[in-house]
Amino acid sequence: MIAVSLILLSPARADVLVLYDDAQNDLPGDQPWLLYADDGFLSGGTASQSGNASGVRLTTDNAVSAGYSNTVPIINAFKNPAFPTLDRNAGFRLSFELQVLAESHVSNDRAGFSVVLLADDSQGIELGFWDDQVWAQNATPLFTQGESASFDTTAGEVRYDLQVQGNQYSLSADGSLLLSSSLRDYTAFGGAPYTLGNYLFLGDNTSRASATVNLGRIELTTIPEPGSFALLLAFSLIPVARTLRRRSLR
């Protein structure tokens, strides 16, 4: 019974998945979890990626969209079927190292580098990174600038932690809180990727901005689904029940 009590009182164990290990001296697409894609053949724009001491350098122009995702475009399937469920009630966190070297935009509602993180029910947040500001995309009106924080994204590589818990998100930079607000529902867009679940993207997803960034280590921290703990508890109770039954028969 003591063991059962400890199971009940112990906090849920967090699982950390390294989506991109920048120490491997290769590109995110060379590793199991993320896929690189750009639409240069359709847009006529130009994108490039190259490895460096900080991880990978991604450069895009105003016309192209390019970046890294856990999902294969068009077929909308995970690159790796073992990608975990992003349950916002349990909570999850995307951590990434980023330095914006240059960024330009022709609209105050667009950014040359963005992060999109959607839970399994498509609720989530999109964040835009400028030279001197980090801000969130609104859902109403759709894809307009929402809450923002002044921040020098160019000074050096920063570890950002994007936390989702319940109906809220928060973004920290090297441990200091930058943004915190409600999650968004972007499904009014009417199609992928904003209608997908368990989706993430890091890169330039607009034809109205450009950027050059260094992107380092990327990690995803998740909490196992409550059902797994219930199952664990059930199996833990079986020998206890058997012991009690034996004692009652003596």
- Per-residue pLDDT tens digits for 144-176: 999 999 999 999 999 999 999 999 999 999 999
Model confidence at 12, pLDDT cuts 50, 70, 90, reads: low
Q: Please name which of 8, 212, 6 lies closest in space to residue 112, comparing C-alpha atoms.
A: 212
- Per-residue pLDDT tens digits for 68-81: 999 999 999 999 99
- Per-residue pLDDT tens digits for 78-129: 999 999 999 999 999 999 999 999 999 999 999 999 999 999 999 999 999 9
Domain 2-249 fold:
Jelly Rolls (2.60.120)
Domain spans, the chain = 2-249
What is the C-alpha to C-alpha distance for residues 8 and 144, in angstroms, rounded to an integer? 44
Per-residue pLDDT, 228: 41
- Asked if 88 and 164 touch (Cβ cutoff 8 Å), the reply is yes
pLDDT greater at residue 208 or residue 234: 208
Model's pTM, two decimal places? 0.85
pLDDT greater at residue 137 or residue 7: 137
Please report, for residues 79, 215, 228, 244, the alpha-carbon distance to residue 68 in angstroms, rounded to integers and kept in the order given. Answer: 11, 10, 30, 55
pLDDT greater at residue 240 or residue 216: 216
- As a dihedral over the C-alpha atoms of residue 33, residue 172, residue 206, residue 103, rounded to 10 degrees, the angle is -110
Per-residue pLDDT, 243: 39
